[in-house]
């Protein structure tokens, strides 16, 4: 796992960048039963570095399965309340959160900057 470079696991592309104490994981492609474990590895590696906030940008995701939701729910359980923030501008990625009620615990935002608002040291 490369911490700053894109990774390709079939139809999934994942990159990580740090903005102060916040990690921003940008995901593109399909998050399904085959690719969710790779996303889990990347997210797990980020969590080992104990970010103050973890932003997962799903704007370039074409499909989000329950396997992907499980990865994000697992990350939520390992972080302080409100520390996991998801960026979504499409029903493809927001509907799974709202239909399962996960949006009650994991906040959805329309942009990375809005997800990082109020995070000291994250900068714009």
Q: What is the pLDDT of residues 47-101, one digit of tens each?
A: 999 999 999 999 999 999 999 999 999 999 999 988 999 999 999 999 999 999 9
* Whole-prediction pTM: 0.88
Residue 25 has pLDDT above 70, yes or no: yes
Burial grade of 40 (CB within 10 A; 0-12, 13-18, 19 or more):
middle
pLDDT at 28: 97
**Where on the phi/psi map is residue 72: left (φ > 0), alpha (ψ -120 to 50), or beta?**
alpha
Residue 4 has pLDDT above 50, yes or no: no
pLDDT at 7: 42
- Looking at the chain, the whole-number percentage of residues with pLDDT higher than 70 is 90
How high does pLDDT run on average in the chain?
90
Q: How far is CA 120 from CA 11, 13, 19, 52, in A?
A: 34, 28, 10, 10
pLDDT at 18: 97
């Amino acid at each position: 796992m490369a911490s700053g470079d894109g990774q390709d696991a079939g139809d999934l592309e994942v990159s990580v960048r740090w903005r102060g104490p916040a990690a921003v994981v940008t995901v593109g492609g399909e998050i399904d039963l085959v690719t969710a474990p790779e996303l889990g590895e990347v997210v797990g590696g980020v969590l080992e570095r104990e970010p103050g906030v973890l932003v997962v940008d799903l704007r370039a995701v074409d499909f989000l399965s329950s396997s992907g939701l499980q990865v994000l729910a697992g990350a939520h359980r390992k972080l302080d309340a409100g520390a996991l923030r998801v960026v979504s501008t499409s029903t493809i990625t927001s509907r799974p959160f709202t239909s399962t009620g996960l949006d009650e615990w994991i906040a959805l935002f329309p942009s990375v900057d809005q997800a990082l608002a109020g995070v000291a040291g994250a900068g714009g």
